Amino acid sequence: MTPYLSLYGARFRTLLQYRLAAFAGFGTQLFWGIIRMMIFQAFYDSSAIAQPMSRAQAVTYIWLGQAMLGLLPWNLDADIRALMRTGTVAYELLRPMDLYATWYARAVAQRTAPTLLRCIPLFLVAGLFFGLRPPASPVAFVEWLLTTAGAVALGCAFGTLMNVTLVTTVAGEGIWRFAAPLTYTLSGMLIPISLLPPAFIPIVNALPFRGLVDTPFRAYLGLLTPRDLAFGLLHQACWTIALVATGRMLLRRTIGHMVIQGG
Amino acid sequence: MPQIVVENLCKSFRVAERDPGLWGAVRGLAHRRYRTVEAVRDVTFSLEEGELVGYIGPNGAGKSTTVKILSGILVPDSGRCEVMGAVPWRDRTRYVGRIGVVFGQRTQLWWDLPVIESLELIRDIYRVPSNAYRETLDELIALLDLKSLLDTPVRQLSLGQRMRCDLAGSLIHRPRILFLDEPTIGLDAVSKLALRDFVRRLNRDQGVTVILTTHDMDDIEALCSRVIVIGRGEILSDGSLAALRARVTNERWLIIDLEDEAAIVEDEDAESARTDTGRVRLRFDPARVSTAELIGRVTSRYAVRDLFVENPPIEEIVARLYREASP
């Protein structure tokens, strides 16, 4: 097995051990899902004009968001932070591996393992009791899988870039406070993008975050035309490449002057 | 051609400083003051394959900096450094696959994973073929007595057990050079002995070059034929233990147990003092008075129950060297 795959596997297995965290996460996300559902109910009840997304679609969108929340790169990797604080990053540099790729593999594990644990019960419960609908069609399902893979690639590129800034800042609180609301609002996790004020939509469309949530969720709902799908995947791919390139460059530049203190 | 060549190596760091207290913190916001610390200054040495060298010095002397440069994770400001024909920090990822490093104060193993899974990960990281891995692992399990530890998560190991596993981790890919940075720190006596025994065998039986930094002079006395002493970033001494002794002092100690424990021993050619255990210790220079003559004089003047001659402990020698080096 290649080093990166086996590191991914080890990290994935480690994260799967945190059953209690998964259970707590499931509870929290269920609770928030119900609250958000009620807010959107009120919104649809009081709205006189036709919305670009039906009520049932909005409910499904919300529950998808609750189930897939773990994929959103809103926080830093606590372990990489610890590596920086304690200087154990020295050992990372002693591995005959590409450091960026190593951290990217970690990020993929960090996003996929907890999400996998949490999304299955959420899909079941929300599907049975709270109006989450299955994918619009088999084609929509395949499109959803494709764009979700794109979202993971993109989210991990963004997350790894944030982790790379830790080499310089060590603490990372600032970047974290900045990234959390940014990813949450601009991805469509807070409000589906098509429900945002029309003036904002072109800007949000150009930014990378839409590819994390809105693109796969609309695929799930069957709202993507083939052209939308192609553009969505291209948008994800371009931003992934740009973010990976930026992260790599930043890491190369900072690691050169890194000083690991202490014996 | 030596395996490791270090020539005129220099590395300095910029350390931000501020005055203590609130005012200092506020002033630090507007105006940063930096101090340059020369961690390594003009360090030169070379090592042949199969040497076991102690690299010692007080805290902050530049030991770890040298090891970090040699292992490729720090870039020096100037100077030349070649290990096995490669420049460590250039093409680092390829270079580090050929060396082994253990930092006593950190662990390279995965905290949440059982030891065996950590070792398998290391196997994959270094792309060690599985039959070679099997062979190396069996050997390490036997030598380091790891059998009972393999299924334990790393976080549940004692420090001594963890260090044994860390050593195994650093040798899975059979490096020809092993850097040990304070490997015995915090270990109990038994663990230290086991570790020393292992390092000695590794060096003797497999010819692995070992560079050992430590504060424990027993490590040095037990293992190293050659000692490099560094202080304030500069090399103070490089040679055998005996040469180090001879350079700093040639004094010997005559330790005496008297019949009358309260008696005071005096001699014109020696300096008398009490040891911590209440014995009499005469420090003398064998060039000034021969050992036989001094013993003859002491036994004729005092009622002696027992006596023996010893060299000053290496700690003492090194402490003197450090003192001489600091202004």
Q: What is the pLDDT of residues A109-126, one digit of tens each?
A: 989 988 988 899 999 999
DSSP string computed for A3-14: HHHHHHHHHHHH
**pLDDT confidence of A259, banded at 50, 70, 90?**
low
Give the gap in angstroms from C-alpha B128 to the nearest C-alpha of chain A.
10
- Same domain flag for B242 and B94: yes
**Burial label, B177 (beta-carbon count in 10 A; 0-12, 13-18, 19+):** buried
- Same domain flag for B195 and B93: yes
Question: Which residues does B225 contact at the CB level (< 8 Å), separation at least 6?
Answer: B51, B52, B240, B241
The residue among A257 and B225 whose pLDDT is bigger is B225
pLDDT at A263 over 50: no
Is there a contact between A94 and B64 if contact means CB atoms under 8 Å apart?
Answer: no
Q: Are A163 and A103 in contact (CB under 8 A)?
A: yes
Taking CA–CA distances from A2, the nearest residue in chain B reads: B124
Chain B environment of A14 (Cβ under 8 Å)? 110, 112-113
Taking only the tens place, the pLDDT of each residue in A171-228 is 767 777 888 888 998 998 988 988 888 899 999 999 999 999 999 999 999 999 999 9
Number of H helices, E strands in chain A: 11, 0
- Structure confidence at residue A15 (pLDDT): 81
Q: Quick check: is B2 in a domain? A: no
Listed as own residue / partner, the contacts of A78-86 with beta carbons closer than 8 Å and 24 or more positions apart are A79/A106, A80/A106, A80/A163, A80/A166, A81/A166, A81/A172, A84/A166, A84/A167, A84/A170, A85/A170, A86/B106
B184 is in which domain, residue-wise? Answer: 49-246
Interface residue ranges in chain B relative to chain A, Cβ cutoff 8 Å:
13, 59, 63-64, 68, 71-75, 92-94, 96-97, 99, 101, 103, 105-108, 110, 112-113, 117, 120-121, 124-127, 181-182
- Same domain flag for B180 and B298: no
How far is residue A52's CA from residue B208's CA, in Å, rounded to a whole number?
A: 71
Chain A environment of B117 (Cβ under 8 Å)? 10
Question: Any idea what the CATH number is for the domain that residue B282 is in?
Answer: 3.30.70
Side chain identity at residue B3, one-letter code: Q
Q: Quick check: is B317 in a domain? A: no
Q: Quick check: is B145 in a domain? A: yes
Taking only the tens place, the pLDDT of each residue in A12-62 is 888 877 778 888 888 999 999 999 999 998 988 888 787 888 889 999 999
- Structure confidence at residue A30 (pLDDT): 92
Residues in chain B: 327
- Same domain flag for B193 and B100: yes
Q: Quick check: is B168 in a domain? A: yes
How far is residue A248's CA from residue A152's CA, in Å, rounded to a whole number?
A: 18
Among the partner-chain residues A14, A97, A260, the one whose CB lies closest to the CB of B68 is A260
Using a CB–CB cutoff of 8 Å, tell me whether A252 touches chain B. Answer: no
Q: Quick check: is B279 in a domain? A: yes
Extended beta strands in A66-188, E state: none
Taking only the tens place, the pLDDT of each residue in A147-179 is 999 999 999 999 999 999 888 777 767 777 888
DSSP string computed for A24-39: HHHHHHHHHHHHHHHH
- Same domain flag for B287 and B213: no
- Same domain flag for B141 and B277: no
Taking only the tens place, the pLDDT of each residue in A70-129 is 899 887 888 888 888 777 888 888 899 999 999 999 999 989 988 988 899 999 999 999
In the structure encoding, which two tokens stand for residue A202, read together? 């072109």
Give the gap in angstroms from C-alpha B191 to the nearest C-alpha of chain A.
21
**pLDDT confidence of A260, banded at 50, 70, 90?**
low
- Structure confidence at residue A86 (pLDDT): 77
State the average pLDDT for chain A: 88
- Structure confidence at residue B149 (pLDDT): 92
* CA nearest neighbour of B192 among B217, B209, B155: B217
Using a CB–CB cutoff of 8 Å, tell me whether A170 touches chain B. Answer: no
Percent of chain A predicted with pLDDT > 70: 96
How far is residue B9's CA from residue A163's CA, in Å, rounded to a whole number?
A: 32
Name residue B138's beta-bridge partners: none
- Same domain flag for B151 and B261: no
With residue B13 as reference, give the H or E element that holds it. Answer: strand B4-17
With residue B10 as reference, give the H or E element that holds it. Answer: strand B4-17
CB pairs under 8 A between A and B: 73
Give the gap in angstroms from C-alpha A259 to the nearest C-alpha of chain B.
7
Name residue B9's beta-bridge partners: B43
- Same domain flag for B168 and B68: yes
Among the partner-chain residues A1, A6, A86, the one whose CB lies closest to the CB of B106 is A86
Q: Quick check: is B25 in a domain? A: no
How far separated are the first and last CA of chain B, in Å rounded?
A: 37
Secondary structure of residue B65 in the 3-state scheme = helix
Angle formed by the axes of helices A210-220 and A138-169, nearest 10°: 170
Among the partner-chain residues A17, A88, A95, the one whose CB lies closest to the CB of B106 is A88
What predicted TM-score, i.e. pTM, was given to this entire model? 0.83
Average pLDDT over residues A227-233: 95
- Same domain flag for B90 and B161: yes
The residue among A1 and B183 whose pLDDT is bigger is B183
In the structure encoding, which two tokens stand for residue A135, read together? 């994918």
Q: Quick check: is B13 in a domain? A: no
In the structure encoding, which two tokens stand for residue B50, read together? 């199969």
Domains of chain A by residue range: 3-256
Among the partner-chain residues A1, A88, A256, the one whose CB lies closest to the CB of B124 is A1
Q: What is the edge-to-edge ordering of all strands in the sheet holding B280-284?
A: B270-274, B280-284, B252-258, B304-310
- Same domain flag for B193 and B299: no
> Could you tell me the sign of the dihedral formed by the alpha carbons of B9, B167, B59, A253, in that order?
positive
Question: Which residues does A129 contact at the CB level (< 8 Å), separation at least 6?
Answer: none
Is there a contact between B125 and A6 if contact means CB atoms under 8 Å apart?
Answer: yes
Domain boundary residue, one of B246, B261, B292: B246
Side chain identity at residue B43, one-letter code: V
Q: Are A79 and A53 in contact (CB under 8 A)?
A: no
Q: Are A93 and B92 in contact (CB under 8 A)?
A: yes
- Same domain flag for B129 and B153: yes
Give the gap in angstroms from C-alpha A4 to the nearest C-alpha of chain B.
8
- Same domain flag for B261 and B169: no
- Structure confidence at residue B317 (pLDDT): 81
| CA within 13 Å, CB half, A57 | 18
* CA nearest neighbour of A211 among A161, A153, A136: A153
- Structure confidence at residue B175 (pLDDT): 94
How far is residue A98's CA from residue B92's CA, in Å, rounded to a whole number?
A: 10
Give the gap in angstroms from C-alpha A169 to the nearest C-alpha of chain B.
15
Q: Quick check: is B316 in a domain? A: no
Domain boundary residue, one of B191, B222, B246: B246
How far is residue B140's CA from residue B199's CA, in Å, rounded to a whole number?
A: 12
Chain A environment of B97 (Cβ under 8 Å)? 96
Secondary structure of residue B19 in the 3-state scheme = coil
Domain boundary residue, one of B230, B246, B262: B246
Q: Which of the residues in chain B have pLDDT under 50?
A: none
Question: Any idea what the CATH number is for the domain that residue B210 is in?
Answer: 3.40.50.300
Question: Which residues does A20 contact at the CB level (< 8 Å), separation at least 6?
Answer: none
Q: How many domains is chain B partitioned into structurally?
A: 2
In the structure encoding, which two tokens stand for residue B242, read together? 């005996």
Is there a contact between B71 and A94 if contact means CB atoms under 8 Å apart?
Answer: yes
